[in-house]
Amino acid sequence: MTLNLMFHDNCFDGTSSAAVFLRFYREKLNPKADVALIGMAHQAGPQFHDALFAAEETAIVDFKYSSSDRLTWWFDHHHSAFLTPGDETHFRQDQSGKKFYDPSYKSCTKLLATITRERFGFDCPELSELVYWADIIDGAMYRDAKTAVEVGEPAQQLAAVIEASNEPDFRHSVIRQLARQPLNVVATQQEVLGRYEPISRRHEENIRIIRDAARIDKGVLFFDLIGTGLEGYNKFIPYYLYPDAKYTVSLMHSSKRTKVSVGWNPWTKAQRKHNLAAICERYGGGGHPVVAAISFEPTAVDQARKAAEDITEQLRGGESEKT
């Protein structure tokens, strides 16, 4: 038996979801299956191609839905889970009992662990620490911005390594290890710690870059990182530097895409008036009501910049429906 397991790449929740599903699949369904791990990244244009569904079974976790008849399993919690209305209709009509969607969950890992326990009798206490930290990290449930930015826990450091990694083989190895071993064992091995050291040094530089680039007005923090060489950052840095910010809008550029990121300060006492996923969906992006993004082609810098400026003005001005 062959299985293609697709997951949200360079993401702690995507990695954790893949590990939990892999453990579930091997324990409850097929311990000898040949499992290929396939990282998926949000991008402009089509997300799926036929080769992804060439295995005997396929699974997608923590990533958008595909209406391919070759898709066997699906778990997701994103508000923007469907690329088209037709995809959502296809999901709603599915009778397989193997496709699950619930945007009320903070993490796909927790959703997956809950569903496999309740529906399929899969209970693995060894994974409890992983499920706990996936919920904290993906749900931004730190007690304050300082805790989120100082990255003091092994799980946070592993998450930073996963997000920054450009080594698919390493990321796949981490998934297979997390499926077999406790999170703390995987997170504290030298292969992870050695990769975290340069990330930690860059983290301090990223704080300086964002401090210099950011401008706050009417509770909305905007910063354009195009041209800085920075392709990623700890998403809590803006609230660490500017605790009065309610929303952030940022621009980044890489060889693969130009990205607009939009976020809501999880520690603000203000009332959220905007659904960020719904806003980003109008530009072909999506995510969650409190954190979302849009991916443009690498050459579409002007288009991305215009979208970021429009969204910034919308957040500073009128209201949109909150969900």
Task: Give the pLDDT of the chain (323 residues) as one tens digit per residue.
Answer: 999 999 999 999 999 999 999 999 999 999 999 999 999 988 766 789 999 999 999 999 999 999 999 999 999 999 989 989 999 999 999 999 999 999 999 999 999 999 999 999 999 999 999 999 999 999 989 999 999 999 999 999 999 999 999 999 999 999 999 999 999 999 999 999 999 999 999 999 999 999 999 999 999 999 999 999 888 889 999 999 999 999 999 999 988 899 999 999 999 999 999 999 999 999 999 999 999 999 999 999 999 999 999 999 999 985 554 55
Angle at 322 between CA 318 and CA 323, to 5 degrees: 165
The per-residue DSSP string of 225-238 comes to: -TTTT-----TTHH
CATH number of 2-188: 3.90.1640
216 burial (CB, 10 Å; 0-12 / 13-18 / 19+) is middle
What's the residue count for the chain?
323
**Structural domain boundaries in the chain:** 2-188, 209-316
pLDDT value at position 322?
55
Distance CA 248, CA 131 (A): 28
Distance CA 270, CA 223 (A): 21
Residues with Cβ < 8 Å from 169, sequence gap 6 or more?
A: none
pLDDT value at position 47?
82
Question: Is CATH 3.30.70.580 correct for 209-316?
Answer: no
Helix axes 154-164, 168-180, angle to 10 degrees: 150
pLDDT value at position 44?
67
**Nearest residue to 304 via CA among 230, 264, 263, 254:** 254
Q: Count, in order, helices (H) and strands (E) of the chain.
A: 12, 11
**Which residues is 292 bridged to in the sheet?**
262, 287
**Nearest residue to 76 via CA among 59, 53, 89:** 59
Residues with Cβ < 8 Å from 297, sequence gap 6 or more?
A: 44, 45, 257, 258
The per-residue DSSP string of 61-124 comes to: ESS-----TT--EEEE--TT--SSHHHHHHHHT--SS-EEE-TTSS-HHHHHHHHHHHHH----
pLDDT value at position 318?
57
Q: 2-188 and 209-316: same fold?
A: no
Phi, psi of 177 (to 5 degrees): -70, -45
Distance CA 211, CA 237 (A): 9
pLDDT value at position 255?
86
282 burial (CB, 10 Å; 0-12 / 13-18 / 19+) is middle
315 burial (CB, 10 Å; 0-12 / 13-18 / 19+) is buried
